[in-house]
Amino acid sequence: MLNISHISKQYANHQALTDICLHVNRGGMHGLLGPNGAGKTTLIRIINGIISSDSGSVSIEGQPLSPQIIRSLGYLPEERGLYRKMRVADQAVYLARLRGMSRADAQRELTWWMRRFDMTGWENKRIDQLSKGMAQKVQFVISILHRPSLVILDEPFSGFDPINVEEIRQAITDLNREGTTFILSTHDMSQVEQLCTTISLIHRSRIVLDGRIDDIRRQHATHRFRLRCPDEIRALPQGVSLSAHHQDRGVHTYELQKAPEMTHNQLIELLLPTCTILSFEEIMPGMHDIFIQTVADLS
Amino acid sequence: MLSLIIRHEYLTRVRKLSFWLVALLTPLAFVAIAALPTLIMSIGGSNRLVLICDESGLYADSLMLMNGQSECTYARATEPFAALTLHNTWPDDDVDAILHIDRDLTLGGQAVLYGQKQPDMNIKTTVGSQLSEVVRGQRLAAYDLPQVGQIIRDSRLQVDLATRRIDQQQSEGYESEIATLLSLLMSIIIYMFIFLYGNQVMTSVMEEKQTRVVETIVSCVRPTDLMAGKIIAIGLTGLTQIALWLLLGGSLIGVLNLSGSLIPSSGGLHALISLLTGSQFAGLTALFLLFFILGYIIYASLLGAVGSLFENQQESQQFMIPIMIPILFSMYAAMYASSNPDAALSVWCSIIPLTSPIVMLARAVYGVDTWQLVLCIALLCLTAWGSVWVAGRIYRNNILNYGKKGSWKRLLDSIRSR
């Protein structure tokens, strides 16, 4: 779907992006992560054709970026903003028409989304008559109104209350299920884990981590396991150390650390003689921890 | 896309109440400004009572014969001046002034006008001129010449000097006053247009940057298209405004049938109307539109570029001043050029691109050498292209730079970078 090849961008005295390569599959949900100032917004603006790169190329469905392709994208910028004195319907239709949609189609889609988000009647309100959250919801609708095949959302959940976060998250999931490809730039790691299948972590202008979330978490596995059993373990097997232990209503929960070379089955075999296993699971690192660890290691 | 932007920007503006208020009220304001002096002058002052203490006995009767000819009504004092103003008291509140003439004015006598307060200019002028007329009349009578009054009236002949271009002896040339008026009018309209609508471009760009809506728009249209669309749409709004003004102004003048005194020429309104319908006016109109468009493009694009550097107008002042100075200077130069069309200052200011849109029009009415006109238009076209190019770069490189202070360094960097 989206192929970014060796993109670099330098501002006056600042290298914003260095040799960025990225691939997002059709129908994928890709998280674009990175600390503030890493270069995410610059990359998003290059994909949107807002600024040009110094070198490298961007293609969508095998086609190099062109005004037609750029218009077909959906984009929710981090810096939200609409015309304050303009009616919701007027600007939604105007912006959809700028993206190549007909007036009638835009109006029909707007009505559909207003109904879905329980916003019927808002069309005739001016933006300055809406709360900040309401205006952001309108802007989300505007970014997907023309049914784009690739949508780039920069911090889509910021400024929303939990109910609206859930509504937006559900809308993204539904559209993704229907085949829309998403790129999500966000600092909300729980949303990344819930929604995204692949991620790229940009740090100091370079991609430092890239791939499927499951693979990345596995790569960053800390070899820690959670074991629940009714008995207290008197002695841990060799090669296994205790990280934490607590007891609740007769059930003991152990967090164990195994040696890296030990396999899961070997660990279970070693534990079987020591207790009756109620449950056994690997403690996988969260994206939050991976993000912090990776950035800290590189800093 | 460009047409969509133009349409949106244009309709957004012409649908505003303020657009129609300005469109409807400006011709009224112009007519009011033009008519106000005449109206004020036509308001008669209240009747003023002037007591005459004429110790010479030569002037009081003649002055009293003039009662009814002006706002001053003369009455002879019943007491001598000294008794009348004993202890510096004022005889009667109904009396506005006392004219004291001590003796024959032709023999060194003195006339003094006293008031309870300092007498105003109006009463001084009226009494002074009427007293002068009386003295003059008495002197002429003393010569005892037959028909002396008629001879003097006949000698006051005023020659109406017509002005024509040598190549337009047979055709309808412009009278100097009308030419000056017309050239100034056109220059003022261009000046106002550039000032008002150039500023609108700047504030509109700033507003889009401040509200951040610009990022949503430039993700589907090129930044330069957005700026071009804005400049064209605001330009069209201005042209619509002017068309409405002309329509309404014309109708108003027609309906009110204002007196010729509103137009500072002997021909008055009729001369202006015949001029506006003359064949030469078509050429001038074409020039007016050309300078109008080119001048507007230059200044609007530069002001648009300044708008892209800032998020509010206060911060932009340091960049506005260098752009506004040539516009303001142009207006003064145009005033000078309308009276001195071939002076060196007028010629140079009508060729230098930043002043030429306003100044050349002030000269064009009188006729300008073809080479000067061609050079002026060529330089204007080049400058318009250059300013659009520079403004496009500044706009593109700064419109998404939020929260950064505009500086000359940033401005130059953004022109240099791709």
Contact between chains at A94 and B216 (C-beta distance less than 8 A): no
CA distance B287 to B380: 13
- Kindly state whether residue B18 falls inside one of the protein's structural domains: no
Q: Are B49 and B73 in contact (CB under 8 A)?
A: yes
Cβ neighbours of residue B407 under 8 Å, at least 6 residues apart? none
Whether B316 maps to a domain, the answer reads yes
Same domain, B321 and B397: yes
Q: B219 vs A94: CB contact, 8 Å cut-off?
A: no
Contacts of A45 in chain B (CB under 8 A): 400
**B142 and B209: one domain?**
no
Per residue in B280-333, pLDDT (tens digit) is 667 777 888 888 889 999 999 999 988 888 877 777 788 888 888 988 899 899
Among A52, A75, A79, the residue with its CB nearest the CB of B212 is A79
Same domain, B290 and B367: yes
In a domain, B23, yes or no: no
B211 with A49: Cβ contact below 8 A: no
Residue B174 within any structural domain of the chain: no
The whole-angstrom distance between residue A299's C-alpha and the CA centroid of its chain comes to: 23
CA distance B367 to B363: 7
Collect all residues of chain A within an 8 Å Cβ-Cβ radius of residue B214: 81
B52 in any annotated domain: yes
Residues B227 and B362 in one domain: yes
Cα B203 to the center of its chain, rounded Å:
26
ipTM at complex level: 0.79
Beta carbons of B216 and A50 less than 8 Å apart? no
Residue B66, domain CATH: 3.40.190.10
pLDDT, tens digit only, all 299 positions of chain A: 899 999 999 887 788 899 999 999 999 999 998 888 888 989 999 998 888 888 999 999 889 988 889 888 999 998 888 888 889 999 999 999 999 899 999 999 999 999 999 888 888 999 889 888 888 899 999 999 999 999 999 988 888 888 999 999 999 999 999 999 999 998 888 888 888 999 998 888 898 888 898 888 888 888 889 999 998 888 888 888 888 889 888 899 999 888 888 888 888 888 888 888 899 998 888 888 888 888 888 77
Question: Which domain covers residue B327, as residue numbers?
Answer: 182-257+279-416
- Kindly state whether residues B189 and B142 are assigned to the same domain: no
Rounded CA separation A38/A55 (Å)? 18
Q: Please indicate, yes or no, whether residues B119 and B222 belong to a single structural domain of this protein.
A: no
| B211:A82 CB<8 A | yes
Q: Is residue B252 part of a domain?
A: yes
- Let me know if residue B217 belongs to a domain: yes
Secondary structure of chain B in HEC code, one letter for each residue: CHHHHHHHHHHHHHCCHHHHHHHHHHHHHHHHHHHHHHHHHHCCCCCEEEEEEECCCCCHHHHHHCCCCCCEEEEECCCCHHHHCHHHCCCCCCCCEEEEECCCHHHCCCEEEECCCCCCHHHHHHHHHHHHHHHHHHHHHHHCCCCHHHHHHHHCCCCCCCCCCHHHCCCCCCCHHHHHHHHHHHHHHHHHHHHHHHHHHHHHHHHHHHCCHHHHHHCCCCHHHHHHHHHHHHHHHHHHHHHHHHHHHHHHHHHHCCCHHHCCCCCHHHHHHHHHCCHHHHHHHHHHHHHHHHHHHHHHHHHHHHHHHCCCCHHHHHHHHHHHHHHHHHHHHHHHHHHCCCCHHHHHHCCCCCCHHHHHHHHHCCCCCHHHHHHHHHHHHHHHHHHHHHHHHHHHHHCCCCCCCCCHHHHHHHHHCC
The reply to whether B141 and B194 lie within a common domain is: no
Q: Pick from B146, B171, B200: which residue ends a domain? A: B146
Do B119 and B193 belong to one domain?
Answer: no
Is the distance from CB of B260 to CB of B269 less than 8 angstroms?
Answer: yes
Q: Quick one: B295 and B192 in the same domain? A: yes
Q: Any CB–CB contact under 8 A between A84 and chain B?
A: yes
Same domain, B252 and B355: yes
Residue B123 phi, psi (nearest 5):
-70, -35
Determine the residue of chain A that is closest to B396 in CA distance.
A51
Domain total for chain B?
2
> Burial letters for B60-99: b for 16+ Cβ neighbours within 10 Å, e otherwise?
bebbeebeeebebebeebeeebeebbeeeeebeeebbbbb
Q: Is B400 an 8 Å CB contact of chain A? A: yes
Same domain, B219 and B341: yes
Domain boundary among B128, B146, B164: B146
Considering the domain architecture, whether residues B193 and B73 belong to the same structural domain is answered as: no
Q: Is residue B187 part of a domain?
A: yes
Q: B418 and A52 in contact by Cβ < 8 A?
A: yes
